[in-house]
Amino acid sequence: MGAPSETRSDPKSSFQRFRGLSAPAILSCLDAILDFYTQAEQAGWIAVDFYDGSLLYDFNSSCLRVVDQDMYSDAPFTNKMGRMFGSSRFMAPEEFVLGALIDKQTTVFVMGRTVLVFLSDGTLEPQRFRASKALSDAVAKACAQEREGRFESMASLFHAWQSARLGTG
């Protein structure tokens, strides 16, 4: 679903077509993405260089696939390059800092940004978010600039996400 910045706003791009789906359809895909990264975390992996180009969506079958899975790393590790690979729309603050810890909370931030890119306009503006206040609150916590304000893991984020989706959180 990745689109270069110069074509990202084109209504015919896969990115805009996906964002144009109903909120329930997008939420279903986000459920799958968050579940996938929760399972990856349980296996000891974190994504490196995740962005919308890491996703394929089949508009005929409504099927989402996570691709480009060669960019995963054992967690945690130290940022040894300064600005890491990836799209800044999805990157956590520590992915720009040489010597910073890259871990579960980094993935939490990246997944929070993923929700905002697809279910909002990339911001935390409540009027732009196309889901419940409870989901917006979970995403806001996932996207906290300071690590201490984020969920401690994808498992914690996914639990809060599921609770909000079910109206129990």
- Could you tell me the CATH number of the domain that includes residue 158? 1.10.510.10
The residue that leads in pLDDT, 72 or 60, is 60
The alpha helices in the chain, defined as continuous H runs, are 14-19, 23-42, 104-119, 133-142, 154-166
Q: Is residue 143 part of a domain?
A: yes
Mean pLDDT of 19-35: 95
pLDDT given for residue 69 in this prediction:
66
Q: Is residue 7 part of a domain?
A: no
Domain of 143 in residue numbering reads as 23-50+72-166
Greatest distance between any 2 Cα atoms in the chain = 44
Q: Is residue 63 part of a domain?
A: no
Q: Is residue 61 part of a domain?
A: no
The set of residues, in sequence order, having a beta carbon less than 8 Å from that of 117 and lying 6+ positions away, is 52, 89, 90
Q: Is residue 119 part of a domain?
A: yes
pLDDT given for residue 42 in this prediction:
95
Q: Is residue 6 part of a domain?
A: no
Three-state DSSP at 93 gives: helix
What rounded mean pLDDT belongs to the chain?
Answer: 92
* Structure-token pair, residue 8: 């990202």
Number of domains in the chain: 1
Q: Is residue 8 part of a domain?
A: no
Q: Is residue 157 part of a domain?
A: yes
Give pLDDT tens digits for 80-135: 999 999 899 999 999 999 999 999 999 999 999 999 999 999 898 989 999 999 99
* Structure-token pair, residue 93: 């603050």
Give pLDDT tens digits for 154-164: 999 999 999 99
pTM of the model: 0.93
Q: How far apart are CA 131 and CA 68, in angstroms?
A: 28
b (16+ CB within 10 A) / e for 131-164: beebbbebbebbbbeebeebbebbbbbbebbbeb
